[in-house]
Structure 1
């Protein structure tokens, strides 16, 4: 899709991306994963050289790719979000050879997926939370977050935190069963993803920035 000078040859450049790229290890070397519009690319991060591409014919989402055991999990689509599980050990055009499995619907457009202890978690824009086997895509369990999601899920100390646009926080136990540990409500909704600093949880709502941690004894 590039001319000899490196410029796009058509409108709607395959390489245009809306998500943050991810650097992973591949056979002792680094590989940069970029989910572009209509294609996913693997680059050598030192040189920018393209190692492989996977064309999907859809549009990229804001969700960041994640990686597990040589498989990249990439969200695609805007009208109907899907998920591609792509083996990263290829070269050249791997569209027809390196797809491990896929979901045609029910994935996320905005929240990034999460890998915890060999399980893949999806938090969808409409508030579904789905736990999958990363090797096969088989569903382990499904639940609800109690609102719409833009912020990505966060795992800390074996707990998965979900903050909705409506301001509800749902805390799940990471694992093979759907177990809600607690729910809380903030004064305003969350659109930014939470973060962890030491033992503290950092949460930004539409109106405030919170540092949440257990009081010193």
Structure 2
């Protein structure tokens, strides 16, 4: 496990006085707060894998299965998260005015859609430009039983009491030129021997705008700050930005934070922020969460699948098994770029791992692909095994409930996929098959949450809960 005896590396750019001034103390002792992650606690659920606990029918997205729907004021692509709060399971979503002058958080009862509270959080006099395809509330929160952690990029990060939305602490002192607006989502890290901490990436275009910070979950104090590799400064500013969500990976006997920025993916020690590894793969604008493979998924080694974003767009498999890295000629302790491929690679949506050694991707143009992950560092991965054209365009990431994969498009397409051997016999590779198609009355940019035996969906202006049992009436 991690050597927690090593002292944390505190941000050299910030004085102790500034740290204390920027963090607002908890209203209650940290020991009295339950930070148990919710059933769908972050972007794409537990550790960003995009898989729900309950199987759901392929025809779930029908009017008769809509249990409730509420209008969400403002504008935001931040995905819904769900935790079992003091009054029961609660859905949290961020929102903002279209011009970015007001940023809020809303909480709804999962069972009924009743509004629990609204927290008007950050007021911004002169927000920076945000691209029309982005919003000022595109970062997804992290939800626990007693605290919901929310993030709006440079405009602020806060811990809110789930009972009433009151601020427990907030930080508004991090500088970053997002250029097109913020969209990275945080990760809550907690395990034995390590105090709970929020990992937050900042990947902007300025000279000092590519870094990752760890904030104490109890106080908001900076525990460490690690800059991206200086090599990112060698590219023009627009190619330095990224919007990825970090995840945790067990690599050998260590637990590491895996975070994708422009050009490369970093493996960081969550205790100190030390960069253990850096794997260069190119690209920028990545908005996905790395996906951690384990040998039970059907590959011969532990590895991490990343989407590199634009320029060029590709899928990349980073092998962390020492046998494979030695085959590649690297040191035994270093990961290697096992393969990369632009076939089936999405620019924005996170890939969805299957238990058969494949991944399902949905690209911006509405093509779903099943991609072989492979097991050979010499490059037998990346082959597209099956492809289905869905129509529409997609930034929402696919999620899976049992054998059903749900996809949602920016113009309202709602298509579910199934996998299986549909032709060629039992020895043939599996294929993707469209199981059900419907059309919503407005588009979807956020990724849904699979909780409570159903699916929570944020559309352009509403929040909806689909359940196989239908309405409450």
1:82 maps to which residue? Answer: 314
2:293 maps to which residue? Answer: 68
C-alpha spacing 1:7/1:174, structure 2 compared with 1 (3 Å): closer
Is 1:117 aligned with 2:346?
Answer: no
Q: Deviations over 1:39-89 (max 9, x none)?
A: 111111122111111122432411111111311111114244111111124
C-alpha spacing 1:46/1:75, structure 2 compared with 1 (3 Å): same
Instruction: Give the deviation of 1:36 after TM superposition.
Output: 1.4
Instruction: Give the deviation of 1:138 after TM superposition.
Output: 2.2
C-alpha spacing 1:39/1:101, structure 2 compared with 1 (3 Å): same
Instruction: Give the deviation of 1:7 after TM superposition.
Output: 6.1
Question: Secondary structure in 1 aligned to 2:360?
Answer: strand
Bigger relative CO (Cα 8 Å, ≥ 6 apart): 2
Calculate the aligned-residue CA RMSD, in Å: 2.8
The CA distance in 1 between the partners of 2:359 and 2:260, in whole Å, is 18
The CA distance in 1 between the partners of 2:240 and 2:271, in whole Å, is 18
Is 1:195 aligned with 2:449?
Answer: yes
Question: Secondary structure in 1 aligned to 2:359?
Answer: strand
2:463 maps to which residue? Answer: 209
Question: Secondary structure in 2 aligned to 1:19?
Answer: coil
Kept after mapping to 1: 8 A contact 2:344/2:368: no
Instruction: Give the deviation of 1:110 after TM superposition.
Output: 0.8
The partner residue of 2:396 within 148, 151, 154 is 151
2:367 maps to which residue? Answer: 128
Is 1:102 aligned with 2:335?
Answer: no
Question: Secondary structure in 2 aligned to 1:18?
Answer: coil
Give the 4+ runs in structure 1 shifted more than 3 A: 5-17, 94-97
2:37 maps to which residue? Answer: none
* Structure number, greater radius of gyration: 2
Name whichever of 16-25 and 152-161 sits farther off.
16-25
Structure 1 unmatched runs, 5+: none
2:269 maps to which residue? Answer: 44
Instruction: Give the deviation of 1:103 after TM superposition.
Output: 0.3
The CA distance in 2 between the partners of 1:30 and 1:16, in whole Å, is 26
Question: How many residues align structurally?
Answer: 212
TM-score (normalizing by structure 1): 0.86
C-alpha spacing 1:173/1:49, structure 2 compared with 1 (3 Å): same
Higher strand share: 1
Structure 2 unmatched runs, 5+: 1-206, 209-224, 295-301, 331-335, 375-380, 421-429
The CA distance in 2 between the partners of 1:29 and 1:181, in whole Å, is 40
TM-score (normalizing by structure 2): 0.41
1:24 maps to which residue? Answer: 249
